[in-house]
Structure 1
Amino acid sequence: MIDKLEFFIALARQQHFGRAAEECGITQPTLSAAIRQLEEQLGVVLVVRGSRFLGLTPEGQRVLEWARRIVGDTRTMREEMRAARRGLAGHIRLAAIPTALAMVRRITEPFQRRHPNVTFSVLSRTSLQVLSLLDDLEIDAGITYLDNEPLGRVTSVPLYSERYHLITAAGAPLADREEVTWTEVSSLRLCLLTADMQNRRIINKHMAEAGVTVTPTLESNSMIVLFSHIRTGQWASIMPRNVAESFGFPQQIRMIPITEPDASHLVGLVATHREPYTPLVSALLHEARSLATAEAFDRNLLSNDDNPILT
């Protein structure tokens, strides 16, 4: 039954019998037979069939919810028993929004130091893709925005806040300013993330709040592409300061706070809400909470002028 449910989840994800069979490492006739056997066992039709996959029936949509839950719980049980025998080991699959990729190491490095038998894979994805991958059990956790768009039923751990800055070359327009407004930034030659990225939707929203629109002359889903164009001195961009600093910009690059509004958005770790969590996800959530506590402590130190540590 579990195998058939996993095949069904793959079919719902791929929406194509051939691709789903390839993902599962079986032949298409084997997959089709397994889905029909599942339908017979449950007494309902799960898939709308024609000359090709046409979607799930209403009953199929409901079974998909149960399948994700049952398969997820089964994997949790297997991991928990494996951890009881051999200690924490295995592979964690993470997906992160592009602006959060630079900080992933702040979780993975201490985690792997504590648990050397755990490996990671890290994917760059949009915020919507992060949530979709969680739903489809293709990742164990994600790093995304927490306070801007609906997240659904997830467990979240806030990690840090993004505050937006104009990133531009020294000598470029507005580069000599201590702060700039969204209205002023809208007039520059900008390179920004693509429109499918939540970071871009956030920028568009704040531009609209300022009564202007933004039309970048270059778009990319890669932060590295944006950084390389900023360094030419021909483009400016809008980025969180922590992202810009992670690339070690030289002195001729300026990072200028954007005001009116002075906007920030919360970024954190998300995992599918279920009890119990797999041992790996439980340990990852613990690591994220430890990092969040340390970040909050550092911010309190920096904001306290009377703190003797800083004097």
Structure 2
Amino acid sequence: MDIKQLKFLIALDQTRHFGQAAALCHVTQPTLSMRLRNLEDELELTLVERGQRFEGFTEAGERILAWARTLMAAHDGLNAEAASCRGQVVGSLRLGTVPLASFNPMALLLPLRQSHPGLQFQLSSLSSEQIIDGLSRNQLDLGICYLDQVDTRYFEAIELGVTTMGLLHDTRHFPLNGPLHWEDLAGLPLGLPSKAMHYRQSLDLSLRSRGLEPRAVLESDSTFQLVQAVGCGLCCAVMPLDFGLQALGEHLQILPLEDASIRSQVGLLLRRSAPRSAIAEQCFAQAQKLFGA
């Protein structure tokens, strides 16, 4: 067994496709398939359900996959620790972030990159629950999520502020002036995040408390698709302020909504328990200097 076999297994889980997993690992598909069969022979287990294409992992495969992730995280952490001993911060920072909040993750990534040119980033858009789980399983190094669901016995946290809301619109299609009130949304076609998202639940609560029913013409769990819909004039969207959305188009404008915020703070999390990578600890320490009280 070697590290490359574990990388191949994890890549297959990420892509759910043999050819794409091989491309991700910069090998041919026959090479990837052969190395995975060698791993199965060594473990005396069938890990992958095979037909004409990838059909999933066996129960044993799912259990081995969890260990493979842990071993890869330890391998990456070892390399990062060695670099740290040499006075360097190199490698990949795995950061999970909620998709809608009044904190632009680029405000963290840009200064980190400027301080550490050898640093790379893996940025995942996840729910708060997924971020907490990913940190607990050592699948993420840091997470940006809502703090109302966080047990601070297990995580260090830096508060990044409360999420405030505004109405994103394209001035060519909806020439609006602000500031706006919730009641001003009643007659507008709206693009809304999916109902399972924390941000949408807070938004619905604000609307219902005022006896308002939104006129949703589009629901999506993709911020990009909501911005696309706004840009083409299909709708307006209630989005976080200070999220950098106006920079995505010259005609995009976001107007503040009176008394519109999510009560829960957004924060940056680092798990307290070992193993913690040197990259995670050093980036968290720099974030404390940037955003800590």
User: TM-score if structure 1 supplies the norm length?
Assistant: 0.68
Contact 1:130 1:144 in 2 (8 A): no
- For structure 1, the 5+ residue unaligned runs are 295-311
Structure-2 residue corresponding to 1:241: 241
| SS class of match (1:216) | strand
Q: 1:50-85 CA deviation, whole Å, 9 max, x = no partner?
A: 222211111111111111001100110012112223
- Select the residue among 218, 223, 227 that pairs with 1:221: 223
The alignment partner of 2:27 has SS state of coil
2:78 and 2:128 map into 1 onto residues whose CA distance is 28
Where does 1:43-192 land on structure 2 (aligned, <5 Å)? Answer: 43-92=44-93, 94=95, 96-100=97-101, 103-113=104-114, 115-121=115-121, 125=125, 127=127, 131=131, 140-147=141-148, 157-166=158-167, 172=176, 175=178, 180-181=181-182, 184-192=183-191
Q: Which amino acid aligns with 2:62?
A: Q
Matched-pair identity in %: 27
Q: Which residue of 2 aligns with 1:301?
A: none
Q: CA separation of 1:203/1:142 partners in 2, compared to 1, >3 Å: closer, same or farther?
A: same
Q: Structure 1 residues 243, 17: closer, same or farther in 2, change over 3 A?
A: closer
Mark the structure with the bigger radius of gyration: 1
CA contact (8 A) 2:47 2:57 kept: yes
The amino acid that maps onto 1:9 is: I
Q: Summarize the Cα distance change of 1:22–1:263 in structure 2 as closer, same or farther, 3 Å threshold.
A: closer
- Is the contact between residue 101 and residue 243 of structure 2 (CA under 8 Å) also seen in structure 1? yes
The CA deviation at 1:277 is 2.1
In terms of fraction of residues, the more helix-rich structure is: 1
CA RMSD of aligned residues (A): 4.3
* Counterpart residue number, 2:14: 13
Alpha-carbon distance in structure 2 between the residues aligned to 1:20 and 1:66: 19
* Aligned-partner Cα distance in 2 for 1:109–1:80: 22
Q: Does 1:277 align with 2:279?
A: no
Higher normalized strand content (fraction of residues): 2
What is the aligned partner in structure 1 of residue 203 from structure 2?
A: 203
Measured after TM superposition, the shift of residue 163 of structure 1 is 2.6
User: Structure 2: which 5+ residue stretches go unaligned?
Assistant: none
Q: How many residues align?
A: 279
Partner of 2:207, secondary structure, is helix
Deviation per CA, 1:19-77, whole angstroms, max 9, x where unpaired?
A: 11111111222111211111122222111222222111111111111110011001100
Alignment partner, residue 299 of structure 1: none
Aligned-pair distance for 1:8? Answer: 0.8
Instruction: Give the TM-score taking structure 2 as reference length.
Output: 0.72
